[in-house]
Structure 1
């Protein structure tokens, strides 16, 4: 047996854990690995929902064969999402199962041809279409831009399992248990928020449309392509996605700064101390040069307050802060209480570019920005304390 796990009597997890890759999409750190989930439904007809990355063929095919043997073929491959970490074994699977039908929507097929040169054995499904496997029925719903244009989800009507593609996915390998009641949900909630904010966050409106579309379904299981399978609290993960897609946060603040010689860092420390004195307990303080942007963005998504500081760097923002503000513009930052501070020596560029950022995301800072020349003086200290007070008032008023 090769670690396949029964979700129900006839539905098995045949996913693969990747604990070797250092980054996901060659961008996001994988300190705790990632799971690439695939699901096998065994009935009169056999259906496989998504595959895995190309380099995971050995473990993947051994798991499938441990369930159906080497003689029985896979009748259908359901393609919910075409990213290569889920479709990478499609061609190899078709070579092993030459009569297999590849099921997707109209937008799926152009990507299949472009990635793998496959133009035959394709079965198109539209909104609400069904495929009978026996006692199991697969029903399809289109969820475009969650988070690619071809994404869809598959609902199995007998067991009420939703195969959701990347939606509700998380970083983190499945180290033993695969279900929500077998794993540390505090860990996976943080990794799910990091996954959402960095990869899906731009697409809040399509996520909302998908949640509304699927709201009438009775769901016993949510089976994503990454992270745990939700069988005990599927409503919990749906509520998290609903909250995150609206950018609704909690009381607290992220303070992130860029500094060359430590003076902007000292300003950040003073703001943090002043916020604490105002009764704010959830405070995250980040040096943008030391912490990967994915973790900073995760916590920006978590808390309602964001305070950004930058020294002037060649009349512009400090580069890691510039990268952060560009990312925040890209994902459509909203619903935040914003504060701005920084330093300059012979020329400005940090604070005034942060003000331009605030204008672009259409968020008015809670207080006048504070900009110190070289190092803070008494008036700067008073300004930082005022900024912290105004931030604390704004955060408390959000309750």
Structure 2
């Protein structure tokens, strides 16, 4: 949890425990938007053991020095921790999207705590479950933009995680960002499978252009019009100078065909186009 949200986070933890002892703190991911409050939680619950991968424990020392005095339990692929009727199993997921990442599976209620995998950009509106939303309408573009910009480079690693997930009986997915998936899990798993295989979602054309005086822009729109005459219906147009690159990257994954049109700048590719390509 981000340190700026620590007060609310601590209040929620205390309410959930309702006076009970906290025995374990499972750390799936050390990125500061999730682990920023770790020192505070450890100070409040010094007897709770930290459960994490070796790389995550190393990062704790880098982030917090020697301030985390709690016992540290280093887990490897397939290790388990019994909580009575609940049992936690741990599966490493390196580079999805940091090197220390693991996911945690709870076998009694069949819940996968998936770290950043299956997450999305955007804030919840009060509803917390996927079936309380129209995902295609309200969330899919942000799911795609999140995956392609956060994990898009690591398709092979995501495929490895998906293969592990398919061996588990998962009834619920709890990602660190976005709605909890309690129904139609195959929807988001299939999306991740498509994106991580770098497959297009349909027959479509993205035209991204960089124009200085408007001539390249005119050529881009001329091409789009000609494609329309040929029956192409899904055409996405982006001016790289006015569109955040995260949206263009997202469309690059979605579309089956890509056209890049750029003016030259000092004998090189126009800088904004070069940024996108890089």
Q: TM-score, normalised by structure 2?
A: 0.96
Which whole-Å CA distance do the structure 1 matches of 2:69 and 2:232 have between them?
A: 58
Is it true that 1:196 corresponds to 2:147 in the alignment? Answer: yes
1:320 to 248, 272, 275: 272
2:199 aligned counterpart, secondary structure? coil
Displacement of 1:184 after TM fit? Answer: 2.8
In the TM superposition, what is the alpha-carbon distance from 1:280 to its structure 2 partner? Answer: 1.0
Shift of 1:119: 5.9
For the pair 1:63 / 2:12, whether they are aligned, the reply is: yes
**Helix, strand or coil at the partner of 1:63:** helix
Cα shift at 1:73: 2.9
Count residues in correspondence: 274
Q: Is the 8 A contact 1:104 1:124 kept in 2?
A: yes
5 Å-filtered alignment, 1:1-399, equals 52-69=1-18, 71-117=19-65, 118=68, 120-186=70-136, 187-249=138-200, 250-326=202-278
* Structure 2: distance between partners of 1:232 and 1:307: 37
> Can you list the C-alpha shifts for 1:132-185, whole angstroms capped at 9, x where unaligned?
112111011111111111111100000000000001110011111111101230
List per-residue Cα deviations over 1:61-80 (Å, max 9, x = no partner): 111222223x4332111111
Gaps of 5+ in 2: none
Specify the SS of the correspondent of 1:166.
coil
Quick one: distance in 2 between partners of 1:277 and 1:74?
Answer: 65
Q: Secondary structure at the match of 2:130?
A: coil
Counterpart position of 1:388: none
Tell me, yes or no, if the aligned pair for 2:97 and 2:151 is still in contact at 8 Å: yes
* Deviation readout 1:368-387 (Å, 9 max, x if unpaired): xxxxxxxxxxxxxxxxxxxx
CA RMSD, 1 decimal: 1.0
What is the rounded CA distance, in whole Å, between the counterparts of 2:206 and 2:8 in structure 1? 41
Q: Which residue is 1:357 aligned to?
A: none
Alignment correspondent of 1:360: none
Q: Is the 8 A contact 1:113 1:119 kept in 2?
A: no
Unpaired runs of at least 5, structure 1: 1-51, 327-399
Structure number with higher relative contact order (C-alpha < 8 Å, ≥ 6 residues apart): 2
What is the TM-score with the length of structure 1 in the denominator? 0.67
In 2, the alpha carbon distance for the partners of 1:97 and 1:218 equals 32
| Structure number having the greater strand percentage | 1
SS at 2:153 equivalent: helix
Distance 1:290 1:252 in 2: 22
8 Å CA contact retained: 2:91, 2:104: yes
> Does the 8 Å CA contact 2:46/2:69 hold for their aligned counterparts?
no
